Amino acid sequence: MLKLALFSLLLVIMVVGAVDAIAQTTSEQKNQECISLIKERTAALAAKDWQQLEWLAKRYLQKCRGVHDSESLASAQEDLANAYFELGNLMAALSATEACIDLFYASPGCHVISAVVLLKLGRLQDVRAAHSIAERLVGHLITTTERYL
């Protein structure tokens, strides 16, 4: 009876270990897929292929939520805002900048794009506020970076 109990316990431990290993492998695969999507977004941005950038940013946001952190997700929202802006979809661009800022307030790029979109929409008061925030965030990043040099 004791041998059967020990065998059962050993079997449970092996199954749990196998499940953990499978989960870890799946997590690593998702992370690699997300990293690949970041590289593809970078290429689309460099190529100024706005439709491809839009598609890749949306795909990244869909597949990588819960895999990467909010700063990385905000970067994809920033790319999406850029793509929408370049494609002439100003309201979608503004919405993407708002989502970007909600995800990671400290992203100066989101605030800069927001200011540009607001300027194009003729919302001058909002442009000043967005630009002011962007300027302070960039200044903060420069100061912080200089401390580490």
- Structurally, the chain folds into a number of domains equal to 1
**Region for residue 65 given its phi and psi (left: phi exceeds 0; alpha: psi -120 to 50; beta: otherwise):** beta
Give me the amino acid identity at 40.
E
Nearest 10 degrees: CA dihedral of 104, 108, 112, 114? 10
pLDDT at residue 115, rounded to an integer: 96
Q: How many CB atoms lie within 10 A of CB 5?
A: 9
Query: Average pLDDT in the 70-94 region?
Result: 97
Residues 8-47 have pLDDT tens digits of 544 444 444 544 444 455 788 999 999 999 999 999 999 9
Give me the amino acid identity at 29.
Q
- CA atoms of 38 and 98, how far apart (whole Å): 21
Domain span holding position 11: 2-148
Residues 117-129 have pLDDT tens digits of 999 999 999 999 9
| CATH code, domain carrying 118 | 1.25.40.10
Give me the amino acid identity at 21.
A
Q: How many CB atoms lie within 10 A of CB 77?
A: 27
Residues 134-145 have pLDDT tens digits of 999 999 989 988
Phi, psi of 94 (to 5 degrees): -65, -45
51: pLDDT strictly greater than 50: yes
- Tokens representing 84? 């929408």
- Tokens representing 12? 């449970």
Exposed e or buried b per residue across 39-76, where buried means at least 16 C-beta atoms within 10 angstroms of its C-beta: ebbeebbeeeebebbbbbbebbbeebeebbeeebbbbb
Query: Average pLDDT in the 87-103 region?
Result: 98
70: pLDDT strictly greater than 90: yes
Q: Tell me the whole-structure pTM to 2 decimals.
A: 0.79
Residue 96, H or E segment: helix 90-103
pLDDT at residue 97, rounded to an integer: 97
Tally of helices (H runs) and strands (E runs) in the chain = 6, 0
